[in-house]
């Protein structure tokens, strides 16, 4: 009846996983991709970003070595070398993805795909019919409509800059913005970060947000809240940003990291009858089915949890459901995440604010300390660790950390939360000494509950 049992539009991490697993179950599968294999994460996202974070942290490592008796000689950073080595690693990964798909028997169709109808996909002049179709095209960076915005870049272009700027303005307050602020600063760039709200990283625990702001400012990043650029102007010396308070900033580079949008433009989704939410996200049920019963969507294009491992989990579950005889709904409760800021963030479960809304009473355990490494390095960098506990059940419902290796540490604790671990079980676990991570099993005294808000004058306390 059809050319393929399963046609995947988009060869990012989620689409590739869905295609491979479906093919492994015996389905006839094709993947269409207009760019390099691996999608945003591999090419202009998680992977090159983490490599850049590693590169940028060496400046502090060299300085810290002195306290341990090391004499480090003259140092020089070469941006083109980093970019070239990063490009070589990404090319290697592109090849890995191609071999994985071809080895599974998946046909790779190169070019931009578009839905013609519910069973037909066009790629250039070619037409392919499929019993089921998966939309896995991810998202794209969004730049606000500000005069002169064409002079700015996004994180995509940052990975391929021909030269490193001396001064950079980063506009935005999400994880991409704080990560690139740390990257550029560590590589010797004078960085100013602007965020239009009172505190960045909306959606993260407030103690995490405040701690990171303090630590970034200690490092010398010019972090400005309640600040935004209303216009950019190209000048002989670079770019001038005019701020909403009337002040101006001069820089060699301006980068917007102000959000992402589902990459659904021109896909023909509406023509095929696929319902979309305002902003372009594909509307799906908990198993990825759209309003058209043979068309599915996973990953960032659904604008739910925009994390690569979530897209991979969704793709795997969908393939098992459709072709493996194992109906599977992805469990997206307590999804851990990391921000590779400097210092880094690890988080899983509820924030304190969310926990106080959900439970009658919670206990908060928090510790802030200078890690052992910096007792000799002399660096003024502190860590913050936090547990959130439902008082009635004693279950740990949130873990948050700011500090070195936060993602590595919280990944393990995410398993504990998935298993429903209690604070008593954390307490009964023997710590590994001396480590920073042992703090999570030695937290004994909760912080005092916040004082209740004062009642309005004249309010009857008996009715409160």
Those residues whose C-beta lies under 8 Å from the C-beta of residue 90, and which sit 6 or more positions away, are: 36, 38, 42, 43, 47, 48
| Residues 30 and 106 sit within 8 Å (Cβ to Cβ) | yes
Residue 463 has pLDDT above 70, yes or no: no
CA torsion, points 233, 236, 237, 243, in degrees to nearest 10?
A: -10
Q: Residue 462's pLDDT is what?
A: 45
Residue 395 has pLDDT above 70, yes or no: yes
Among residues 261, 265, 310, which one has the least CA distance to residue 288? Answer: 310
Strand order, beta sheet including 222-225: 222-225, 190-195, 167-171, 253-256
Q: What are the sequence ranges of the domains in the chain? A: 4-140+261-323, 149-258, 337-441
pLDDT band at 457 (very low <50, low <70, confident <90, very high): low
Q: Please state which CATH number belongs to domain 4-140+261-323.
A: 3.50.50.60
Angle at 204 between CA 198 and CA 207, to 5 degrees: 75
Mean pLDDT of 296-301: 98
Asked, as a colleague might, if the bond just before 294 is cis with ω within 30 of 0, I would say no
Q: Residue 450's pLDDT is what?
A: 87
pLDDT band at 33 (very low <50, low <70, confident <90, very high): very high
Q: Residue 452's pLDDT is what?
A: 74
The fold of 337-441 is Enolase-like; domain 1 (3.30.390)
Q: Between 175-186 and 46-65, two packed helices, what is the crossing angle to 10 degrees?
A: 40
What pTM does this model have? 0.95
Q: Please state which CATH number belongs to domain 149-258.
A: 3.50.50.60
Mean pLDDT of 160-176: 98
How much of the chain, in percent, has pLDDT values that exceed 90? 96
What backbone phi and psi angles, to 5 degrees, belong to 219? -75, -15
Residue 108 has pLDDT above 70, yes or no: yes
pLDDT band at 177 (very low <50, low <70, confident <90, very high): very high
pLDDT band at 459 (very low <50, low <70, confident <90, very high): low
pLDDT band at 464 (very low <50, low <70, confident <90, very high): very low
Mean pLDDT of 64-76: 95
Among residues 38, 48, 49, which one has the least CA distance to residue 12? Answer: 38
Handedness of CA 333, 338, 339, 345 (dihedral sign): positive
pLDDT band at 461 (very low <50, low <70, confident <90, very high): very low
Instruction: Give me the active site residues, please.
Output: 433
Residue 460 has pLDDT above 70, yes or no: no
Q: What is the pLDDT of residues 214-238, one digit of tens each?
A: 999 999 999 999 999 999 999 998 9
Mean pLDDT of 411-436: 98
| Residues 346 and 165 sit within 8 Å (Cβ to Cβ) | no
pLDDT band at 385 (very low <50, low <70, confident <90, very high): very high
Mean pLDDT of the chain: 96
Asked whether this chain's domains 4-140+261-323 and 337-441 adopt the same fold, the reply is no
């Amino acid at each position: 009846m059809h050319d393929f049992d399963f046609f995947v539009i988009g060869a990012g991490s989620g689409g590739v996983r869905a295609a491979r697993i479906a093919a492994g179950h015996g389905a006839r599968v094709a993947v269409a991709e207009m760019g390099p294999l691996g999608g945003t994460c591999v090419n202009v996202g998680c992977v090159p970003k983490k490599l850049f974070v590693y590169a940028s942290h060496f400046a502090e490592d060299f300085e810290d070595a002195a306290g341990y008796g090391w004499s480090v000689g003259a140092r020089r950073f070469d941006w083109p070398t980093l970019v070239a080595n990063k490009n070589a690693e990404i090319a290697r990964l592109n090849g890995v993805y191609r071999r994985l798909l071809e080895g599974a028997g998946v046909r790779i169709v190169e070019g931009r795909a578009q839905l013609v109808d519910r069973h037909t996909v066009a790629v250039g002049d070619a037409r392919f019919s499929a019993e089921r179709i998966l939309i896995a095209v991810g998202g794209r960076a969004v730049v606000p409509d500000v005069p002169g915005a064409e002079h700015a870049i996004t994180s995509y272009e940052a990975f391929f800059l021909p030269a490193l700027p001396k001064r950079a303005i980063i506009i935005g307050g999400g994880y991409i913005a704080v990560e690139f602020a740390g990257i550029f600063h560590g590589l010797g760039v004078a960085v100013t970060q602007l965020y239009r709200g009172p505190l960045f990283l909306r959606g993260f625990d407030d103690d995490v947000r405040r701690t990171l702001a303090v630590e970034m400012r200690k490092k010398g990043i010019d972090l400005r809240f309640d600040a935004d650029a209303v216009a950019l102007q190209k000048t002989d010396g670079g770019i001038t940003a005019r701020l909403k308070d009337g002040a101006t900033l001069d820089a060699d580079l301006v980068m917007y990291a102000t959000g992402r949008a589902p990459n659904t433009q021109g896909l023909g989704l509406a023509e095929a009858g696929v319902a979309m939410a305002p902003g372009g996200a594909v509307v799906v049920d908990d198993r990825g089915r759209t309003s058209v019963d043979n068309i599915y969507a996973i990953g960032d294009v659904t604008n739910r949890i925009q994390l690569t491992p979530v897209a991979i989990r969704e793709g795997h579950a969908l393939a098992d459901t459709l072709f493996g005889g194992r109906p599977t709904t992805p469990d997206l409760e307590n999804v851990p995440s990391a921000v590779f800021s400097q210092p880094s963030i690890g988080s899983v479960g509820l924030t304190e604010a969310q926990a106080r809304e959900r439970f009658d009473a919670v206990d908060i355990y928090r510790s802030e300390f200078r890690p052992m490494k910096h007792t000799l390095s002399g660096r003024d960098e502190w860590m913050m660790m936090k547990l959130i506990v439902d008082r009635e059940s004693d279950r740990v419902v949130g873990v948050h950390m700011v500090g070195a290796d936060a993602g590595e540490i919280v990944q393990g604790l995410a398993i504990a939360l998935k298993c429903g671990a209690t604070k008593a079980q954390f307490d009964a676990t023997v710590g590994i000494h001396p480590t920073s991570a042992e703090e999570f099993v030695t937290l004994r005294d909760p912080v005092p509950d916040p004082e209740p808000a004062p009642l309005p004058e004249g309010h009857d306390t008996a009715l409160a």
